[in-house]
């Protein structure tokens, strides 16, 4: 008989995934649940979250939907309070939610779109880290994984708006990791998913054949395997396309 701990190595873990209604976020939520974690699904659209939750439950997993707008800092605080009241801790935080402004020269960046991307990609990240810091510290081994982009570290023409938000995103996560490494068991990792078949990529590369890039499940499996195997603080990884 197979040991259940081998089939469900994340059993008993409470995980929160942002951007969980589609793409890499949805795939990661399903993969976490398949390994035994109870997953809190965070995104704006209730219907899409319910579809992910149904898929998790149909596969024998457990989850809770938490529809909210991450650009509303007060909503993040209320969610943290609700999780504290129900579980008193958070074991895993995966930050997938992000917004891609229109690709354009720096001199032509739309101020409204740029502000929206800064709010979701940067300000909401800080709000999440602040709101869930205490709950992650109550875990025996709290883990934070943030999904970044290569354009954050390597500027690319016309990607200035998005790239600059991801540079700030990376900086926030890595700085937080350095600040807590001597006072907490919490560890931080930044993962670059690489070219992945998502709606965001389809908008950025409208002429690309979707089948030429890997599906979100590949990234999700990589993230979950990182959590099962565990990783050192300030770990950075890139998910390559399988050969």
Q: How far is residue 24's CA from residue 239's CA, in Å, rounded to a whole number?
A: 12
Orientation angle between helical segments 111-118 and 160-180, nearest 10 degrees:
20
Q: What DSSP designation does 196 have?
A: B
- Helix residue spans in the chain (DSSP H): 4-7, 23-34, 46-58, 73-86, 111-118, 124-138, 150-153, 160-180, 199-204, 216-229
Q: Which of 114, 132, 159, 162 is catalytic?
A: 162
Q: Tokens 């996560």 — which residue?
A: 173
Q: Tokens 């001597």 — which residue?
A: 182
205 is an active site residue: no
**Strands 187-192 and 14-18, sheet pairing:** unpaired
Q: How far is residue 203's CA from residue 62's CA, in Å, rounded to a whole number?
A: 32
Q: How far is residue 92's CA from residue 128's CA, in Å, rounded to a whole number?
A: 12
Q: Give the active site residues.
A: 162
């Amino acid at each position: 008989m197979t040991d259940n701990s081998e089939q469900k190595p994340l059993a008993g873990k409470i995980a929160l995934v942002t951007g969980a209604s589609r793409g890499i976020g949805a795939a990661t939520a399903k993969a976490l649940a398949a390994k035994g974690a109870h997953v809190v699904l965070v995104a704006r659209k209730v219907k899409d979250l319910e579809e992910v939750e149904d898929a998790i439950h149909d596969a024998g997993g457990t989850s809770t939907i938490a529809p909210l707008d991450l650009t509303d800092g007060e909503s993040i605080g209320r969610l943290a309070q609700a999780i504290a009241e129900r579980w008193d801790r958070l074991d895993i935080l995966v930050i997938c939610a992000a917004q891609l402004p229109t690709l354009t020269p720096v001199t032509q960046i739309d101020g409204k779109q740029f502000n929206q991307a800064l709010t979701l990609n940067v300000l909401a990240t800080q709000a999440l880290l602040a709101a869930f810091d205490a709950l992650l510290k109550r875990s025996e081994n709290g883990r934070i994984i943030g999904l970044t982009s290569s354009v954050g570290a390597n500027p690319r023409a016309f990607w200035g708006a998005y790239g600059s938000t991801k540079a700030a995103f990376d900086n926030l996560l890595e700085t937080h990791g350095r600040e807590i490494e001597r006072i907490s068991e919490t560890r931080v990792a930044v993962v670059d998913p690489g070219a992945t078949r998502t709606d965001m990529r389809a908008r950025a590369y409208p002429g690309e054949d979707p089948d030429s890039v890997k599906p979100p499940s590949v990234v999700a499996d990589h993230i979950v395997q990182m959590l099962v195997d565990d990783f050192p603080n300030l770990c950075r990884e890139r998910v390559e396309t399988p050969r």
